[in-house]
Amino acid sequence: MPKLKTNKTAAKRFTITGSGKLLRTKGGKSHLRRRKAPRVKRMYDDMLPVDRVDQKRIKRLLPYSK
């Protein structure tokens, strides 16, 4: 049986917790942050859970994570 390849772009965007939950970062945090309020910029730091309908598709891209 050949090894499965991990999708590297998905590996950079998603993390998997020890309990198996998929987490994602918010989009839009990379540039144009000078004009945003400090409270808004702090909101970009949080990791959010991936929606349930997308989890199966993303886990297929990350075969060797839990």
Q: Can you name the residues that pair with 15 across neighbouring β-strands?
A: 23
pTM assigned to the model: 0.79
The DSSP 8-state label assigned to residue 32 in this structure reads: -
How does pLDDT run across 9-43, given as a tens digit for each residue?
999 999 999 999 999 999 888 888 889 999 999 99
Kindly give, in sequence order, each residue whose CB lies less than 8 Å from that of residue 16, ignoring residues fewer than 6 positions away: 22, 23, 62, 65, 66
**Residue tagged 């499965």 (tokens):** 4
Report the pLDDT value the prediction gives residue 47, as an integer from 0 to 100.
Answer: 94
For residue 52, give Cα distances in angstroms to 21, 26, 58, 63.
10, 16, 10, 18
Domains of the chain (ranges plus CATH)? 8-61 (4.10.410.60)
Q: Give me the mean pLDDT over the 39-51 stretch.
A: 93
